[in-house]
Amino acid sequence: MASDSGRVIIVGAGPAGLLLALLLAQEGVNVDVVEAQGEIDSRPRGAGYGPAAVTVLRRAGVLNTIIDRGLKPDSFTWRKLDGTVIGRLSGLNRKNDIGGFVMLTVYDLAVVLWEALNDLPNAKVHWGHKVVSVGQDELSAWVECENGESLKGDFVVGCDGGGSSVRKCLFGTDFPGKTLDSIIVATNVRYDFAKHGWEDSNWIVDPEHWAVVAHIERNGTWRVSYGERPGLSHEDLQNGMADKLRRILPGSPRPDQYKVERFSPYVLHQRCVERMRVGRILLAADAAHLNNPMGGLGLTTGISDVSGLADCLCGIFDGKAQVDILDEYDRIRRDIYWNVTNQVSTRNLERIMKTPEELIKSQDPFFSLLDNAEDPEVFDKIEKNDMQLLVDFKQFYKSTTNGLANGDMNLVPWDRLVRYVSAKTGKVRLGDPIMKGSTDIDQLVANCALKVWVLEGDDWVRAVRTGEIEEVREILSPLSATEVPIIRCTGLNYLAHIAESKMDIPKNPTLFIKPGQAIGHPRAPIPVPKLSQAKCDYEGELTIVIGKDCKNVTEKDALDFVAGYVAGNDVSCRDWQLEKEKAGMMPQWCFGKSFDKYAPIGPAIVSTKVLGDAGGLRLTTHVNGELRQEANTSDLCFGVRRLVSFFSTGQTLQAGSLIMTGTPDGVAAVMNPPKWLQDGDEVVVEIENIGKLRNIIKFE
Contacting positions for ligand NAG (CB under 6 A): 217, 219, 221, 261, 332, 335-336, 339, 551-552, 616, 618, 632, 634, 688
Peptide bond into 603 cis (omega under 30): yes
| Nearest to ligand NAG of 331, 398 (CB atom) | 331
Could you tell me if 635 and 466 are in contact, meaning their C-beta atoms sit under 8 angstroms apart?
no
Smallest distance, ligand NAG to C-beta of residue 105, A: 6
Nearer to ligand NAG, 124 or 190 (CB): 190
Give the relative orientation of helices 51-59 and 376-387 as an angle to the nearest 10 degrees: 60
DSSP states of 289-348 as a string?
EE---TTSHHHHHHHHHHHHHHHHHHHHHTTSS-TTHHHHHHHHHHHHIIIIIHHHHHHH
DSSP state of 71: B
In this complex, which beta carbon is closest to ligand NAG, that of residue 131 or of residue 189?
A: 189
Rg (CA), the chain: 31
**Smallest gap from residue 662 Cβ to ligand NAG (A):** 16
Give the shortest CB-545-to-ligand NAG separation in angstroms. Answer: 21
**In the bound complex, what is the minimum distance in angstroms from residue 616's beta carbon to ligand NAG?**
4
The smaller minimum CB distance to ligand NAG, of residues 97 and 256, is found at 256
Closest contact distance (angstroms) between CB of 339 and ligand NAG is: 4
Residue with Cβ nearer ligand NAG (308 or 319): 308
Separation between Cα atoms, residue 126 and residue 113, nearest integer Å: 15
The smaller minimum CB distance to ligand NAG, of residues 3 and 343, is found at 343
Minimum distance, C-beta of residue 218 to ligand NAG, in the bound complex (Å)? 8
CA 188, 190, 192, 198: dihedral to nearest 10 degrees? 10
Q: Residue 387 or 423: which CB sits closer to ligand NAG?
A: 387
Q: How far is the CB of 692 from ligand NAG (least distance, A)?
A: 15
How far is residue 312's CA from residue 325's CA, in Å, rounded to a whole number? Answer: 6
Number of CB atoms found within 10 A of residue 119's CB: 16
* Cβ-based nearer residue to ligand NAG, 52 or 697: 52
**What strands lie across the sheet with 211-215, from one edge to the other?**
85-90, 75-79, 201-204, 211-215, 221-228, 177-190, 259-272, 289-290
CB of 206 or CB of 311, closer to ligand NAG: 311
- H-state helical runs in 8-50: 15-26
Q: Which is nearer to ligand NAG, 205 or 411 (CB)?
A: 411
CB 613 → ligand NAG: shortest distance, Å? 12
Residue 183, C-beta contacts closer than 8 angstroms, at least 6 positions apart: 227, 228, 229, 230, 232, 265, 266, 267, 268
Least Å from the CB of residue 618 to ligand NAG:
3
CB of 657 to ligand NAG, least distance (A): 16
Give CA–CA dist 406/1, Å, rounded.
Answer: 10
CB distance 336 to 285 below 8 Å: no
Q: Which is nearer to ligand NAG, 147 or 339 (CB)?
A: 339
By beta-carbon proximity to ligand NAG, the closer residue of 162 and 220 is: 220
34 vs 31: CA distance, rounded Å: 10
- E strands, 608-666, are 618-623, 626-632, 658-660
CA dihedral 294, 298, 301, 304 (to 10 degrees): -120
CB 106 → ligand NAG: shortest distance, Å?
11
Beta carbon of residue 442, minimum distance to ligand NAG (angstroms, whole number): 19
Q: Distance between CA atoms of 216 and 213, rounded to whole angstroms? A: 9
